[in-house]
């Protein structure tokens, strides 16, 4: 393969960062295998049922939801809410019973993850409005805060109306070594990388070539590959992409999606929540193995205004977060002023005909 020319990027001392230029690795020039139906014998199925969360007495709805969902290793369900009687992060047991709220959890967790590493199991999340990243215990003790000022100002997005530079951090993921990746999806479309201590390492991505991102909404570690990769949901471009952990564009996983907003990997499967009313499951070869909750009514998708009386079991309206349980069940959190979480239970593999 022709040797890549290099694109300079800001890195901390001692950290090497290689990013390919548009002439070699423009994301539309190097595609991964196009999605195609997988053999039926390999297709895993999911069953649908009623929405899984049992709201506590006196709380008629979850609350205004523009956040995420994550599952702890014991199966507990964590949901972020920006407003309502129990805003912040609510915790439910695997059977859907409300347990508690996470103390100290902010109300502006647009995206967050639960990661279990050598030092234990923690919540990691960037604050959309506050522009900082926090690490919490599952009970809510703050163990680390990364201020937005850790990110060089040259990578902040300048508002043309007031000439103020700002961060609008929308999603994060954590590598096995503890490195934290955060996307500035509502501003610069860049990804910022920190080590496990919260020290700034590097920045890559953005609106220019070779990335050409338009709302890099959320990201996930794809550990199906060696070395692991990043999955990025490039929402306004209707595509999902693979990046190396150093920021190289590897290729497109899928295009022509319905505004992909969130991604999660478990086993050989990648689940992508599409805010225009669908969840798509891909295998390691980028083949579509399932489509869940598809809503074909254009008046009911991509909006947070749908009333609970219009909700249909197993039919999504605006997927904004996705998470697998340890058992392989898929949870979907919606963009909704009322708040909603759906569950697709893992079924047995479909037999070949």
- Residue 118 sits in a domain whose CATH number is 2.120.10.30
- What is d(CA 282, CA 240) in angstroms, rounded to the nearest whole number? 11
- State which residues form the domain around 161: 22-349
Asked if residue 1 is part of any domain, the answer here is no
Q: What is the pLDDT of residue 119?
A: 93
Radius of gyration of the chain (CA): 19
Q: What is the pLDDT of residue 19?
A: 34
Q: CA 246, 248, 253, 258: dihedral to nearest 10 degrees?
A: 90
Q: How many Cβ atoms sit within 10 Å of the Cβ of residue 296? A: 9
In the 8-state DSSP scheme, what is residue 22?
A: H
Split into its structural domains, the chain has a count of 1
- What is d(CA 123, CA 105) in angstroms, rounded to the nearest whole number? 9
In the 8-state DSSP scheme, what is residue 153?
A: G
- What is d(CA 230, CA 182) in angstroms, rounded to the nearest whole number? 11
In the 8-state DSSP scheme, what is residue 103?
A: T
The per-residue DSSP string of 206-265 comes to -SSTTT--S-EEEEEEETTSSS-EEEEEEGGGTEEEEEETTS-EEEEEE-S-S-EEEEEE
Q: What is the three-class DSSP state of 130?
A: coil
Q: How many Cβ atoms sit within 10 Å of the Cβ of residue 112? A: 25
- Which residue matches tokens 């890549």? 4
Asked if residue 13 is part of any domain, the answer here is no
Classify the C-alpha dihedral 65-301-280-234 as positive or negative: negative
Question: What residues in the chain have per-residue pLDDT under 70?
Answer: 1-44, 348-353
Q: What is the pLDDT of residue 163?
A: 82
The alpha carbon of residue 144 and the mean position of all alpha carbons in its chain are separated, in whole angstroms, by 21
Asked if residue 35 is part of any domain, the answer here is yes
Asked if residue 296 is part of any domain, the answer here is yes
Q: What is the pLDDT of residue 279?
A: 98
- What is d(CA 205, CA 266) in angstroms, rounded to the nearest whole number? 25
How many CA atoms, within 13 angstroms, populate the side-chain half-sphere of residue 113? 22
Number of residues that make up the chain:
353
114-123, long-range: CB within 8 Å, 24+ apart, which pairs?
114/70, 114/71, 114/72, 114/73, 114/78, 114/138, 115/174, 116/73, 117/174, 117/176, 117/178, 117/196, 118/178, 119/178, 119/196, 121/72, 121/73, 123/70, 123/78, 123/89
Is the peptide bond prior to 210 cis by the omega test (within 30 degrees of 0)?
yes
Asked if residue 3 is part of any domain, the answer here is no
Asked if residue 284 is part of any domain, the answer here is yes
Measured in degrees and rounded to the nearest 5, phi and psi for residue 325 equal: -85, 165
Of 143, 148, 144, which Cα lies nearest the Cα of 190? Answer: 148
In degrees, to the nearest 5, what angle opens at C-alpha 62 toward C-alphas 50 and 290?
A: 40
Asked if residue 8 is part of any domain, the answer here is no
Q: What is the pLDDT of residue 4?
A: 33
Q: What is the three-class DSSP state of 13?
A: coil
Asked if residue 314 is part of any domain, the answer here is yes
Q: CA 290, 44, 331, 92: dihedral to nearest 10 degrees?
A: 170
Q: What is the pLDDT of residue 22?
A: 34
Q: What is the pLDDT of residue 214?
A: 98
């Amino acid at each position: 393969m022709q040797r890549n020319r290099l694109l300079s990027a800001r890195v901390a001392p001692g950290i090497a960062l290689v990013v390919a230029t548009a002439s070699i690795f423009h994301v539309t020039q190097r595609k991964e295998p196009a999605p195609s139906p997988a053999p039926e014998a390999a297709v895993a199925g999911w069953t649908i049922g009623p929405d899984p969360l049992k709201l506590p007495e006196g709380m008629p709805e979850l609350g205004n939801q523009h956040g995420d969902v994550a599952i702890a290793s014991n199966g507990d369900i964590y949901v972020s809410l920006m407003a309502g009687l129990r805003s912040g992060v609510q915790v439910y047991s695997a059977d859907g019973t409300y347990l508690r709220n996470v103390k100290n959890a902010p109300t502006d967790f647009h995206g967050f993850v639960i990661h279990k590493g050598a030092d234990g199991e923690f919540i990691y999340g960037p604050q959309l409005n506050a522009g900082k990243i926090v690490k919490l215990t599952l009970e809510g003790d703050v163990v680390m805060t990364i201020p937005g000022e850790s990110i060089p100002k040259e990578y902040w997005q300048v508002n043309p109306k007031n000439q103020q530079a700002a961060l609008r951090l929308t999603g994060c993921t954590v590598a096995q070594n503890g490195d934290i990746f955060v996307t500035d999806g509502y501003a610069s479309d860049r990804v910022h990388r920190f080590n496990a201590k919260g020290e700034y390492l590097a920045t890559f991505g953005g609106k220019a070539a070779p990335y050409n991102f338009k709302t890099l909404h959320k990201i996930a570690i794809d550990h199906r590959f060696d070395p692991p990769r990043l999955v990025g949901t490039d929402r306004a471009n209707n595509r999902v992409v693979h990046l190396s952990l150093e920021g190289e564009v590897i290729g497109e996983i899928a295009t022509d999606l319905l505004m992909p907003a969130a991604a999660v990997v478990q086993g050989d499967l990648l689940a992508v929540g599409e805010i225009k009313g669908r969840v798509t499951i891909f295998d390691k070869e980028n083949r579509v193995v399932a489509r869940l909750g598809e809503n074909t009514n254009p008046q009911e998708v991509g909006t947070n205004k749908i009333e609970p009386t219009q909700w249909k079991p197993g039919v999504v309206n605006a997927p904004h977060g996705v998470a697998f349980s340890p058992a392989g069940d898929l949870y979907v959190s919606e963009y909704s002023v009322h708040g909603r979480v759906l569950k697709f239970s893992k079924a047995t593999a479909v037999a070949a005909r």
